[in-house]
Structure 1
């Protein structure tokens, strides 16, 4: 088509009015086809000229990127963006002619985080670069699926590899504990100037044994299949019970509790013991993240086929490089943490056929959002009676 148009334009002086009208209609139809293809794409496309100014963008690009309100065409890309960090990045990359290939960018939008992959390609015509083409792909769900798959694979590997190891460790710990008790009893019946010192050492050993035993118990809990006992329960009631139990600790840590619970909460199928444990682990992490006090916000929202429970703190936040590791076994940033707390949370939520997502910014806080399915009512077939006599 383009070669035909080029030939026709060279002969335009010899064309009559009908031929010119037909030529213009062909151009319009080709342009409409290209626009239809461009605007039907789910990936964002931004076309730049030689001066890095926007000359064309599709609807997906407008949806994915934070462009300023008003006209953005004929403005440099960095001047057309509302996000200062994004603007600075593209200004430096384009001016310095740095390569942009599969660059992952995280953007906050409507309380959630989107992960975008951006690639800048040169527009070449007749062997000369005449602009640039920015391709934007939303890879949020792809990254989330990869993280979920990785966590599931880690748990599966732990199940087969370490259940036996944990059992072997637990047996000698029991024997050590029994013999320490015998030593303590013997020391109690005797006397000596070193008795008190030895007793202090034994107390420390006892504490370490208990700590190791707790780690083993948590570890076995993480790798063994759960025997969940699901009962019909209102999630709001469970939340109230949990914070009645922990409200004194929140007061001591100068943490304000902000509850915002949806009154129209349907009954869910929950294992009360396990679900309370999962929520308690998240809350304990939030408390640790706010050593100087802060605000703990808990919110429930009922949707059509699921409910959402979010627990947000105003703590120190999680570094971006740790975000994908936070649910992995034995990953911890605490000096005395087992690294299994959030692994257990993930497993409990999965046993309830739910999902858990994490959002965090360093210095601003962290938010966990748990999504749980609403049991669907049993579908019954309508009875049919014949009118035949």
Structure 2
């Protein structure tokens, strides 16, 4: 048998695998079992500690209730010593809780006790903490461990106040809790527990300890043993101070002891249940021995089964290899003429599967070739569509890389397809000076769809081109976002058409304005002619002539203003847009109008922008538009009126808000404020707001008026901006 043959390798592999699998499983099983038993033991010890604490708490609570009952009966005797003595002696004789019971007056003198001890009758017990606890709190208390002066051995005292008819504390009833009663509670558990159980009171005195006899006449303090809890070092004093149930261990005489510590409810005594590590793991050691023997048996069985299984596999595989070698060149259906029996039925099925697989593989190859051709056809079809679309199409993936771009994008931007495909999103924005970064984020993160957002870009030749941008998500078959598609539409031809239409509309408006202005000029001229005739009459005094001349001067000034306003409207100039600091422009305008506002003591309250804002505007036109609005506000407010000016940035637009507290505009007149010749001023031309409206529109902005008659008016101007 060759060592590189499967007949050798498979049996060897199965034997080695079986051996190591069983060995590793056995080792881990032993370790898990050991750790499980140890943890189970610790949990059990913690449960024992809690159970002992609850039993002691129940015992103390019953004793406490008994003493309080005696105290209440004694209080009802209103200080009758005989009744008090009868009551407490009755309790002592009938209840097994107490080793001593006594009555102490409010001066800490023991009046009587049972059993009695003559040498303590005249002794003052001012040094007893339970006396002061009762006198100060007037509540039942349990003392720390102390040496009884009557019995001359350690015990606890439960003390409860005795009151007179005025509810004043006139003394206390005390009852001694003997340690042997607590020891009896411990002994019930100790009989079934292979370990140590210790009780420590709240001051660190040992109450119960297997190494200390209960009839001792001394109080022994606990040893401040170093202790490890959750890999952190501490000591018993800290545990007693924290009063938390814990499980930990300490090392003494090279032995490790595991302790479960709980506290007795109500009195905060510490219950320690501990076992030496060897005792805890005795059960685990026994299980380990049994597992070791079982492992040896399992390994032997696994080796035998592995060998049998290995040979049962290699024998039919050898026959299959022999038949496969008979294949001619190419993939054909396998032909088996021998070995068609039940013992190798699976190998026969495997051979047939090879044959079927070869046929399926040939079919799949043909389908793959057909699918590849169809894919190429669809790709070519898509490319033809992209070339034929009249708008620019550009697709970014989630990382901001360009994946698809068409020829129209090349025409709009002036960059070649090769150059555009090398741009990242940031480079694309920077090269074209196009603000689509926020649109990209909104589409990716929020799923917003943008339609026909008008923007201005700079092509490769640095020419400004107006375009509209539409954007939406690109989703895959699983509806996952894989990118953003932008549709770029060249608006140059449309803008030319809009300007032509605006010019036609302007000509029509000029016709209407001409008719109106002829009417408005005709009336004053007729009046002026009449006044000139009066001047020719030499019979008029000088005062009358002066009044007529002043009137003629005012009429001429009004006609001049009307003609100038008309010329402002009819004069069509190309806007000279430059980046302009809006806030500085407002300050300049306010300085120009300062004298007019001072005449009426007008107060201007202007807010400031946090950061400077630049807007691409025709400085002269926007200045004139804002002056027209401010002059209306100055006319509308009374003396000492207020004009408010504020700013609000919304996306790529800046709002200039001008508000006054003047007389306002009637609701029925609001729709006509931007009409030519609408005015509320006696000497107004009615063209100011009309001209303002047209200036704002020429800047692709908007102007809105809000007013409440008698309260004031607000104009909101919105114009495109460019951040500095």
TM-score (normalised: structure 1): 0.48
Q: Which has the higher contact order (CA 8 A, sep 6+)?
A: 1
Larger radius of gyration: 2
